[in-house]
Each structure stands twice: as C-alpha cells, then as structure tokens.
Amino acid sequence: MHSIRVQEKDFSVHDEWNACRERLGGKAGAVVSFIGLVRERSETGNVSSLYLEHYPGMTEASIEQIVLKAQKRWSLLDVVVIHRVGELPPEDQIVLVIVASAHRADAFAACEFVMDLLKTEAVFWKKETSDEESVWIESTLDDISRSREWQE
C-alpha cells in the first residue's frame, strides 16, 4: 500500500502518522519517517525562499517509480510520500516520507532509499532565492553519489 501526493499546502506530520497507524493496524513492527525542511542558508548565502515547480502527472509518476523500486527491494507495509511545490520560506516543510515494515532494517533502508532517489529522480525544478540572486539548483554531487550507491 502507498500514497503519493504533490501539493502546495503544508501537511500535518501528526495527521499523516495517525492515518498510517490506522491503515497498519497491528501489522507493523517499525515505522520510519523523514521530514525535509527549507534551510535558511546555502552556498549562495541567506535563503529567502525556495520555489519548487513540477509537471503534474509526470512528477507523481516519477515518485511512483521510486516507491515501486523500494517495494520490490524491501518488505514494506505502507509508504507515504508528500512533496510540496510552490514558494516556500525557510523553516517550511518540503517533504514527508513515511515507511512502515514488519522490521526496522527494512523501514530504515527503504526510507533512506526513497529520500535519496527523490533528490535525483523525481521530476522537480528548484529555484533558490538568496540575498544576492535567484538560481535554479540541481542535485548535488553528494545526492548523485548517494543515489548511485543504491544501484550498485
């Protein structure tokens, strides 16, 4: 089972956690989550906003492929991916990944895998606005390296 949403509005970690637990009943032994936030500083200076653009349908399909890869690799009971788009100021939530499994090793590994591939394979365009300029940003070498490690 899985749920993928791309949206402008913020999400409630509490509500998503409760919904996941309801769906799972007593089946899961581990639930791992990751919440990504907009940082206030980057290499270009103070960040005033991060703008995320997407192509509806294509973005969801790219995330669906990432989740399906995770489900093939590990024994998962539930996966939730919520990714925000639009203009986000520092401290705003960007992404939520929740992974449930019978065992913690699968839940931890799959959550990290999904997050690493979201950074490199999900169809998003990101523009960072700082004190000095606005620049479109790409995956970092570290993001690419982490993603490749999963495929070796």
The CA distance from 63 to 118, in Å, is 7
Residue 139 confidence (pLDDT) above 80: no
- Give residue 109's pLDDT: 97
Q: What confidence tens digit (pLDDT) does each residue in 13-22 have?
A: 999 999 999 9
Task: Give the domain CATH number at 42.
Answer: 3.90.1170.40
Q: What confidence tens digit (pLDDT) does each residue in 52-87 have?
A: 999 999 999 999 999 999 999 999 999 999 999 999
3-state helix, strand, coil in the chain (%, to 5): 35, 40, 25
CB 127 within 8 A of CB 93: no
Q: Return the H-helix or E-strand segment holding 128.
A: strand 124-130
C-alpha distances out from residue 20 to 16, 52, 66, 104, 143, Å: 6, 26, 19, 16, 28
- Give residue 102's pLDDT: 95
Tally of domains in the chain: 1
Mean pLDDT of 1-10: 94
- Give residue 152's pLDDT: 61
- Point out which residues pair with 137 in neighbouring strands: 126
Backbone angles phi, psi at 126, to 5 degrees: -120, 130
Q: What percent of the chain is predicted at pLDDT more than 90?
A: 64
- Give residue 41's pLDDT: 72
- Range(s) of the domain holding residue 125: 2-150
- Give residue 67's pLDDT: 96
Band (pLDDT 50/70/90 cuts) for residue 151 is: confident
